[in-house]
């Protein structure tokens, strides 16, 4: 048995072999990791590249925490593309259980098989049980799929928005991340030949138990600074003018200091930039900002606050600062 939890992995006889398997086609330095992310269109800072590099090298899950819309999920997508590995995504939600996340039996097909056996006179109970509880009737959900290689490559497992699930599922996930195996009573234990690369994201709507965090490397994904967000907009929104992109980023950066119920994320910045391009805007003006606030802000109280006086003042400050830059 091999485990990938810190100290246990170091004591396991196969630890070196596991690390070597997981390091196939992986970046060999922090700079290479940063280049890989940038090459995939993800504008990352060195801190993120460092923890991702260590996660890949050490074979540890990467736990990404941060506000919604800051680009946590995109990291797994870029990693999948850059490493040419399949991406298996488990989208978490309240009430998520084993049948939706790990496996379930195809009960309808099993009943058909039973009826066919009975009709043909084959009623041996042991043989029938072995048949209907075979792998051909097993429906593999994301966590079980992640234990299987695709074309000889372990997949990227994205466990997205873990904080939406309840603590019972979190405890079950803890077991899977410890051994990378699933026990199915009717079939036995299914174990990964090579552990998947695991990315876990959370929007911090609730605290995740320390026992799970200890098995991961942790990184807080914050809102980008002006320079990074400007680069993101220019990379992701082709055809946008330099003036408009600077105004958009400066405006959004100031919005995040307005004590809003929900600050706009990078995703909203990109949506706003795309919307303004669709409206053929070359620069921001008070009417356009007012008309398109629903692209940036998703709560009426926030919109009303900005539409009152703050929005006009922010735009005025943006124009002045960019003019004097």
pLDDT at position 130 is 76
Q: How far apart are CA 129 and CA 176, in angstroms?
A: 27
Write down the domain spans for the chain: 6-94+141-220, 103-140, 226-324
pLDDT in tens, 80-134: 999 999 999 999 999 999 889 999 999 999 899 888 877 877 667 767 777 888 8
Query: Using the 8-state DSSP alphabet, how is residue 153 labeled?
Result: B
Centre a 10 Å sphere on the Cβ of residue 83 and count the other Cβ atoms it contains. 20
Q: How far apart are CA 100 and CA 219, in angstroms?
A: 28
Dihedral angle over CA of 277, 281, 287, 293, nearest 10: 20
Is the CB of residue 213 less than 8 Å from the CB of residue 193? no
Cβ contacts of 109 within 8 Å, gap of 6 or more = 137
pLDDT at position 15 is 44
pLDDT at position 1 is 31
* Predicted confidence (pLDDT) at residue 317 exceeds the cutoff of 80: yes
For residue 297, what are its two tokens? 């802000």
Q: How far apart are CA 288 and CA 247, in angstroms?
A: 13
Dihedral angle over CA of 26, 28, 30, 34, nearest 10: -50
Q: How far apart are CA 29 and CA 39, in angstroms?
A: 15
* Average pLDDT across the chain, whole number: 88
SS3 299: coil
Q: How far apart are CA 212 and CA 48, in angstroms?
A: 20
pLDDT in tens, 280-311: 999 999 999 999 999 999 999 999 999 877 88
pLDDT in tens, 7-25: 333 334 434 444 444 456 8
For residue 13, what are its two tokens? 């006889």
Q: Which of 46-55, 218-227, 237-246, 306-315 has the lowest mean pLDDT?
A: 306-315
CATH of 6-94+141-220, one of 3.40.50.300, 3.40.50.2300, 1.20.1070.10, 3.30.70.920: 3.40.50.300
pLDDT at position 116 is 85
Element (DSSP H or E) covering residue 80 = helix 72-83
pLDDT at position 2 is 30
Q: Which of 15-24, 135-144, 224-233 has the lowest mean pLDDT?
A: 15-24
């Amino acid at each position: 048995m091999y485990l990938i939890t810190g100290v246990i992995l170091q004591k396991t006889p196969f630890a070196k072999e596991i690390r070597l398997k997981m390091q196939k086609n992986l970046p060999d330095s922090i700079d290479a990791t940063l280049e890989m992310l940038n090459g995939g269109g993800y504008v990352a800072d060195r801190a993120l590249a460092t923890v991702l590099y260590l996660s890949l090298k050490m074979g540890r899950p990467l736990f990404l925490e941060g506000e919604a819309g800051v680009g946590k999920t995109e990291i797994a997508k870029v990693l999948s593309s850059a490493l040419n590995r399949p991406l298996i995504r488990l989208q978490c939600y309240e009430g998520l259980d084993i049948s939706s996340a790990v496996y379930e039996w195809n009960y309808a097909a099993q009943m058909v098989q039973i009826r066919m056996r009975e009709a043909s006179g084959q009623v041996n109970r042991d043989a029938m049980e072995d048949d209907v509880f075979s792998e051909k009737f097993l429906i593999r959900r994301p966590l079980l799929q992640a234990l299987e290689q695709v074309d000889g490559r372990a997949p990227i497992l994205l466990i997205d928005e873990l904080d939406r699930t309840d603590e019972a599922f979190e405890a079950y996930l803890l077991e899977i991340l410890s051994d990378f195996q699933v026990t199915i009573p009717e079939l036995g234990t299914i174990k990964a030949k090579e552990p998947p690369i695991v990315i876990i994201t959370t929007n911090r709507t609730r605290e995740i138990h320390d026992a799970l965090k200890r098995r991961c490397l942790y990184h807080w994904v914050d809102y980008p600074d002006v320079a990074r967000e400007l680069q993101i907009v220019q990379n992701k929104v082709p055809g946008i003018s330099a003036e408009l992109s600077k105004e958009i980023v400066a405006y959004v950066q100031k919005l995040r200091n307005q004590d809003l119920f929900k600050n706009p994320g990078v995703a909203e910045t990109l949506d706003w930039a795309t919307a303004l391009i669709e409206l053929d805007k070359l620069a921001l003006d008070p009417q356009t900002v007012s008309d398109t606030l629903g692209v940036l802000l998703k709560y009426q109280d926030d919109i009303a606050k900005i539409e009152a006086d703050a929005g006009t003042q922010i735009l005025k400050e943006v124009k002045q600062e960019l003019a004097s830059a």
